[in-house]
Chain A
Amino acid sequence: MTLTSPPIRVLAVEDDPLYADLVRHLLRRDRNAEYELRAARTIAEALAVLDTEVIDVVLADLHLPDSAGMETVTRLLERASDLPLVVLTGVDDDKIGTEAVRRGAQDYLVKQEVRGGILGRVIRYAIERKALEGREAQRAADLEAAYGELERTQGLLLQAERMSAIGQMASGIAHEVKNPLAVVVQTIDYLDRVLLGNDPAERATSDVAHRLDAMRDAIARADAIVRELLEFSRPTRPQLESVEIGAVLRRAVDLASTQLSRVPIDVSVESAPPGLRSVTDARQLSQVLINLVLNALQAAEAGSRVVARAYEDTASQSADDRYSIRAGAEIGAGTRGVVLEIEDTGKGIPVDLLPQVFDPFFTTKAPGEGAGLGLAVSRRIVDQLGGYIEITSRLGRGTLARVVLPERREVGGDN
């Protein structure tokens, strides 16, 4: 440090005015740097100075009228953790000096040993050391942040890679399975026509007819899974058009409830304003809604209700609780859009399973009820449509699936 550097602003906390004068004297004589001295007699005064003035380094006697020993260190560092602190100790207080350093002071000086050169040097080194510490802490924090970012990116990449691998595998399997299924279906039709006549009464009592029908059902189930796999493996570009939301919702509810009617469950469209429209892909949106209604119906128990509704609203903040999970595009809270809800009073989803509901092949359904791709596909579709899906569920109470699509003013050009 040279004399051209700005003066070092030292706060000397010392209740003995003679010693404070000595410090002032010694610093004035130091040729290696220029100092500006602020003196405080008590910890209260010191803290007041720290609050109002810019200080580079604190030099403090630990024994003050209003604070003693380590308390002084703690209180000073509490107020100015970014400032270098040098403590002054008595000749017998060597342990105290070491302890002060352990607690965050940069250095200590035995009062009686303070001479010209030493004081300035200790003060300047303390500043250097503190700056170095700060840079190291900053570097560690930067490193930590970069590491976190890397982990997040890697997670996303892994997820994307996994999805793409699963997609390719699913597509391969689906295509390989479709042809054999077609052979079986055609063979069933052939056997039916060769073995059975057209007389409905005869068919009704024929074991062969029943067996063939059971085979058709089994194939239909396999085909449904394959279809789901294909749907999942090939993202299709949305075909955007202005869509009457209520009509899509009602049709989806009808289709889903005819597909699944094992238990009589009360399914109703509670509200869907007639004029409610959105620029979106009707086919894809309908697929999402059918998936959600099927899920609701499959979660239903005797006496459960499933209610569907659509309305115009603004996007909300992501609910930060463990009973909700959201997936899809980020939409700023307050963005206007269309909300579609499918709510059931069925089984509900256990809290520990909720984070997995959008994962491909994750299912809690009985064999034959689905491959676990419904929500994975729906999530991707809704994401492509620019919106998000939020599932809120309580075990034993039911589930609310909410699809939020942001308002689009125009039909996109790239479909």
Chain B
Amino acid sequence: MKRILLIDDEAALAEIVKLNLELSGDYSVTLAESGESGLREIERKAFDLVITDFKLPGLSGVDVLRRLKDEHPELPVVLFSVYHDDPSAVPAHARALADGLIGKPIDHEAMDGLVRRLLSDALDDPAPRSR
């Protein structure tokens, strides 16, 4: 079972995305409602994938992305945003740094496809991350 951390301050959305991802039986999803609490989760538990909202109170999605790429470069991170189709709203460096972008409203199939691809990439990684 792959472990996914989903960081989004919109509880109703986070819960239904979690339900959808878990429905396949392949994933277990942990929710965090801020960038800070998300980073704390990562220090406590090991994850195979992080999905973070772009716009968060406090630490932003891009801050979280940067921190994670710094400290856990092998951990795939997906940005989750209403701005995904706007090249000027999501900064180019964040785009380059992120392993994927998912727009809201979310097409489950697109989300599932992206998650599956990233997790199988991570699986192929010869050096699985510790912790």
Contact residues of A with B, CB < 8 Å? 174-175, 178-187, 189-190, 193-194, 219, 223, 227, 230, 234, 236-237, 239
Contact = CB atoms under 8 A, between A and B. Distances in A.
A185 B10 CA distance: 15
A186 B20 contact: yes
Given A183-B13, A184-B105, A178 B82 contact: yes
A227 B23 CA distance: 29
A236 B88 contact: yes
B20 A190 contact: yes
A179 B87 CA distance: 20
B38 to A, nearest CB: 18
Contact of B16 (A187, A230, A237, A239): A187
A223 B20 contact: no
B13 A186 contact: yes
Q: Which 8 A-B pairs have the closest CB atoms?
A: A189-B108, A182-B104, A185-B105, A178-B82, A182-B105, A186-B16, A181-B105, A236-B88
B86 interface: yes
A194 B23 contact: yes
Contact of A190 (B12, B19, B88): B19
A179 B106 CA distance: 9
Contacts of B42: none
20 contacts: A174-B82, A178-B82, A178-B104, A179-B10, A182-B104, A182-B106, A186-B16, A186-B17, A186-B19, A186-B20, A186-B105, A186-B106, A186-B108, A187-B16, A189-B20, A190-B20, A193-B108, A223-B105, A234-B86, A236-B86
Contacts of A174: 82
Interface of B: 10, 12-13, 16-17, 19-20, 23, 55, 82-83, 85-89, 104-108
Contact of A219 (B10, B87, B105, B108): B105
Contacts of A180: 12
Contact of A179 (B20, B86, B104, B108): B104
Main secondary structure of the interface of B (DSSP, over half): loop
Given A190-B19, A219-B105, A223-B105, A182 B86 contact: no
Given A182-B104, A186-B17, A186-B20, A230 B87 contact: no
Contacts of B85: 227
Contact of B86 (A183, A230, A239): A230
A183 B16 CA distance: 7
B23 A190 contact: yes
Contacts of A179: 10, 13, 82, 104
Main secondary structure of the interface of A (DSSP, over half): helix
Contacts of A194: 23
Given A175-B82, A189-B107, 10 more contacts: A179-B82, A190-B16, A190-B108, A193-B23, A223-B105, A227-B85, A230-B83, A234-B86, A234-B89, A239-B87
A186 B10 CA distance: 13
Contacts of A219: 105
A185 B88 contact: no
A294 to B, nearest CB: 18
Contacts of B13: 179, 182-183, 186
A73 to B, nearest CB: 70
Contacts of B105: 178, 181-182, 184-186, 219, 223
A403 to B, nearest CB: 22
Contacts of A183: 10, 12-13, 16
B75 to A, nearest CB: 24
A175 B81 CA distance: 10
A188 B71 CA distance: 37
A237 B87 CA distance: 9
Nearest to A181: B105
Nearest to A192: B108
A236 B85 CA distance: 11
B11 to A, nearest CB: 10
Contacts of A185: 105-108
**Residue from the set B20, B83, B104 with the largest chain A CB neighbour count within 10 Å:** B104
A180 B89 CA distance: 20
A234 B90 CA distance: 12
Nearest to A179: B10
**Residue from the set A175, A185, A186, A239 with the largest chain B CB neighbour count within 10 Å:** A186
Contacts of A184: 105
Contacts of B23: 190, 193-194
A93 to B, nearest CB: 81
A230 B89 CA distance: 11
A145 B72 CA distance: 67
A188 B106 CA distance: 11
Contacts of B12: 180, 183
A174 B16 CA distance: 21
Nearest to B80: A182
Contacts of B19: 186, 190
Nearest to A239: B87
A129 B105 CA distance: 77
Contacts of A181: 104-105
